[in-house]
Chains A and B, each alone.
Chain A
Amino acid sequence: MKIKTEAGERHVLAVTVDNEAGILAKITGLFSARGYNIESLTVADISADHALSRITIVTNGPPPVIDQIIAQLDRLVPVHSVTDLADGGAHVEREIALVKVAGSGDKRIEALRMADVFRAKVVDTTLSSFIFEITGTSDKVDRFIALMRECGLVEVGRTGVVAIGRGPEAL
């Protein structure tokens, strides 16, 4: 017998929650317990009184599963709101990566040239290395990192996606 899987689609969810101990474990635990995917997850305190956090979750699943994820998140006691950013029309997504490249000679020059094309900033350098900071969609970051693999990539740190809906309205 083979275990079947279903094709999914990518969704970005913005979740506002009480900024209290254990909430992140509650949310990630819900995803693992119910077999949902997390492609990336970012979390930070967003209110002046430190009472609220915003969690941005990139997930993947068939539409009924995405609907369930939203309903399951929404019923957690410390969750204030869940918004599927794909539902509200256009939204902006950004991710930051720090990319360390080591090497010398042509590869080092090529790395710097491509960083310029991608509008990545050099935030640290030695005679044999660069650290680039790149901001953009996950696709753009992926493409930059793929190119850097050819130019002496040694280490990558990524933030995961943050996203916000376009236009004057708030969540």
Chain B
Amino acid sequence: MTEMSGADMVVQALVDLGVDTVFGYPGGAVLPIYDALYKHPTIKHILVRHEQAATHAAEGYARATGKPGVVLVTSGPGATNAVTGITDALMDSIPMVVLTGQVPTTLIGTDAFQECDTVGITRHCTKHNYLVMDPARLGAIMHEAFYIATNGRPGPVVIDIPKNVQVATGTYSVPEMIEHKSYRPQVEPDADAIATAVAMIAAAERPIFYTGGGVINAGPDASAALRQLVALTGAPVTSTLMGLGAFPADDDKWLGMLGMHGTFEANMAMNRADLIIAVGARFDDRVTGRLDAFSPDSKKIHIDIDRSSINKIIPVDLAVVGDAGRALDAIIAGWQDAGHTPRDLGEWWRRVDGWRATRCLDFPEKKEDGAEIMPQRAVKALFDATRGMDPIITTEVGQHQMWAAQHFHFDSPNRWLTSGGLGTMGYGFPAAVGAQIAKPDRLVICIAGEASLQMNIQEMGTVAQYRLPVKIFILNNQWMGMVRQWQELTYESRYSNSYSDSLPDFVKLADAYGWTGLRIDTLGQLDDGIAKMIETPGPVIVDCRVAQLANCFPMIPSGAAHTDMLLQPSDVTGTMDDEAKALV
């Protein structure tokens, strides 16, 4: 028990919680905490250029390490600017603690300078939030907030701290047992449900694993367990966008990503399966396509730590509430105890191989040196050039994100950082900053679109300040490509506001910030340009000019079933009925 100021308590709690990095931006209502951080021996503060970037950087840090990301911003605009990243973390289940300054308690509710109702605004985009009115509670709340952010389904927690609470003193002690009085997430799966799951898997003739971000959130052991269970059962594996990396892409059981821009084989296998084993995935609308046609003949097992994810979209036959890793371990143990051996899935694999023969990710291209670069080729070249370097890849949101998901392949978790649920343009670059801070010796590449990148491009200053060797690889097609693609699909190519007009010269911009800027115009320059990006020390921005009108295929259009994929541009008709138009 030590008497100290609220600000010192915040910093001491961060130290006691093992926090080494805080992403933030100072302002009037957090000055006491910033003073407590001044020249702090162990906590590194990363000064961003915009509070939204602080939240995405914290997400990148969390996603790359599995540890919670920590953000410190001021009241009012500091807090409201953080809202997008907080919501992004909620949608993608990223552990994050956001400390916001607030006007003094005596001024709350008076429309004071830089006052906003932070707990009100963030109530529905956080897992939990606090307004600390008493410094005596501050230490306990800090510890509880980290517990909530990291236990059960992870998510963002906001602690709003009025300025006078930062200045006033109270006693601080490290709680003996850190937990919450009522929040008790179910981590251990029910033994009966596990036994039923084992029997269902053993009896299936056409099983498929459908895995998601929950496997990655459950830690590297869960990914290892998934590999073991797949090897034991011999069943194919597909994954959501968020789950890429949990299962190695070079394994012959891997079908690629499923869903709207997933592979033909993954979607067909989901449709024709007799058993789906969903692990840490939530049957998102990008995954399911038309609901009444989703995997009509399968039984479904759903393993999820969040009970509300089960039966939310798709009714399932068996619910297993618990941590993905523990559930997979339990199924493996049950499988081995029962003496099951892999069933002969030869007929099922013959059908899968038939769908694979479609080669749905192939794309038309010209091969001569002077040819324009297909964006898919650029991603493949980047993947080939970085093999063995174990890079961390972040993306912005749009066509480039889907091409990266399709053509960049991962063998391990925590290498693929992308905004899945919220689909936040502007996520990828600050997430790369956070990942690079967490992993200073690794190659971190943000695969960006020229439109998304501009949403947080000010972070070039942050990268320069901390001398981070972040690489940005822009697939520059001078369009908000996914918007344009939908306008082609749905609105007879009326390109309303989707052209990226008045782009900056990215090479000169790099120069202005003290980065290295490179431009790649033709296929013949691609491999050399990528090699130069990798070997150049420090931050590099690559303006890779790609075919302007290429679209992302395969695609399940809005309102269509897994079996109705558009495989190539000639499948596009340019019109849709109102029911399909109304879907996102």
A residues sitting closer than 8 Å to B (CB atoms) are: 1, 18, 21-22, 25-26, 29-30, 33, 64, 67-68, 71-72, 74-75, 77-80
**Residue pair A78, B124 in contact (C-beta under 8 Å):** no
Besides the known contacts A71-B307, A71-B310, A74-B307, 11 further A-B residue pairs in the complex with CB atoms under 8 A apart:
A1-B579, A1-B582, A21-B131, A25-B123, A67-B311, A68-B308, A71-B312, A74-B308, A75-B153, A77-B148, A77-B182
Closest residue of A by beta carbon distance from B305: A75
Which residues of A have CB within 8 Å of B148? Answer: 77
Of the residues B129, B308, B315, contact of A72 by C-beta under 8 Å: B308
**Chain B interface, number of residues (Cβ within 8 angstroms):** 24
Which residues of B have CB within 8 Å of A25? Answer: 120, 123
**Residue pair B307, A78 in contact (C-beta under 8 Å):** no
Distance (Å) between the CB of A64 and the closest chain B CB?
6
**Residue pair B312, A68 in contact (C-beta under 8 Å):** yes
Of the residues B181, B182, B315, contact of A64 by C-beta under 8 Å: B315
In the assembled complex, the Cα of A165 lies from the Cα of B572 at a distance in Å of 58
Which residues of B have CB within 8 Å of A75? Answer: 153, 306-308
Which residues of B have CB within 8 Å of A72? Answer: 308
Q: Does B333 contact A (CB under 8 A)?
A: no
Which residues of A have CB within 8 Å of B183? Answer: 77
- 8 cross-chain pairs, A with B, having the tightest CB-CB distances, nearest first: A71-B308, A1-B578, A77-B128, A80-B182, A77-B183, A71-B307, A72-B308, A29-B124
In the assembled complex, the Cα of A74 lies from the Cα of B128 at a distance in Å of 13
Query: Could you name 11 residue pairs across A and B whose Cβ atoms are closer than 8 Å?
Result: A21-B131, A22-B123, A30-B124, A68-B308, A71-B312, A72-B308, A75-B153, A75-B307, A75-B308, A77-B148, A77-B183
**Residue pair A22, B308 in contact (C-beta under 8 Å):** no
In the assembled complex, the Cα of A26 lies from the Cα of B124 at a distance in Å of 7
Q: Does B200 contact A (CB under 8 A)?
A: no
In the assembled complex, the Cα of A71 lies from the Cα of B148 at a distance in Å of 18
Q: Does B509 contact A (CB under 8 A)?
A: no
Distance (Å) between the CB of A35 and the closest chain B CB?
13
Distance (Å) between the CB of A59 and the closest chain B CB?
16
Distance (Å) between the CB of A23 and the closest chain B CB?
10
In the assembled complex, the Cα of A74 lies from the Cα of B123 at a distance in Å of 16
Distance (Å) between the CB of B309 and the closest chain A CB?
8
In the assembled complex, the Cα of A25 lies from the Cα of B126 at a distance in Å of 14
Distance (Å) between the CB of A30 and the closest chain B CB?
7
Interface string of B560-584 (1 = CB under 8 A from A): 0000000000000000001100100
